[in-house]
Structure 1
Amino acid sequence: DSGYYPEAFIAMEKVSRMETSKLYIFTAYTWLGQLKDLMGDRQEALRYYKRALDHDTGDTMQHSQFRMWINRAWVEKRIDTPFTWKKR
């Protein structure tokens, strides 16, 4: 974890605006929420998680390198429990 959360947020925000795939938009909003959680802004994180659910396709985006399977259940869990990252 490099800790470049603000920079990652800007990049992912661009993805959410430019992408046409609903699954990629869903995933981008999920990541925006996770990044806001990591930056300590829980209210904004919740706003992005709810936006992600608006774009839910019922599919799963797998990020094996992070051991993440991002789908509706993942986002609902993030709404209940803030995202944290264990540094290796």
Structure 2
Amino acid sequence: GSTEAIKGAVEAGMGIAVVSKAAISKELKLGTLAAIPLEPALQRQFSFVRQRQKFRSRLMDELFNFARNYCEQRDRDAGNLLASAALNES
């Protein structure tokens, strides 16, 4: 179903749902929905998509490389935080 339909169902008291926090930012501000943090947090994989036969411009390549480097650095930082937490627990 659509995110709007899911949010409407939850607002109508029909149950709960798992949606991204970005999808409910307006409802959180209005107070019509409340977020319940999940522990551990859920993670999703995203992909860049493009037309199969479309040419690749330099700008498209730069955006892709920027995003890939950002994600790789974030993964390294997360790994360092996990390793640090494990050391602190022992």
Asked if Structure 1 and Structure 2 have the same fold, meaning a TM-score greater than 0.5 normalized by the shorter chain, the answer is no
Question: Looking at CA atoms only, which structure, 1 or 2, has the larger radius of gyration?
Answer: 2
TM-score normalised to structure 2 length: 0.28
More helix by share: 1
More strand by share: 1
Higher relative contact order (CA 8 A, sep 6+): 1
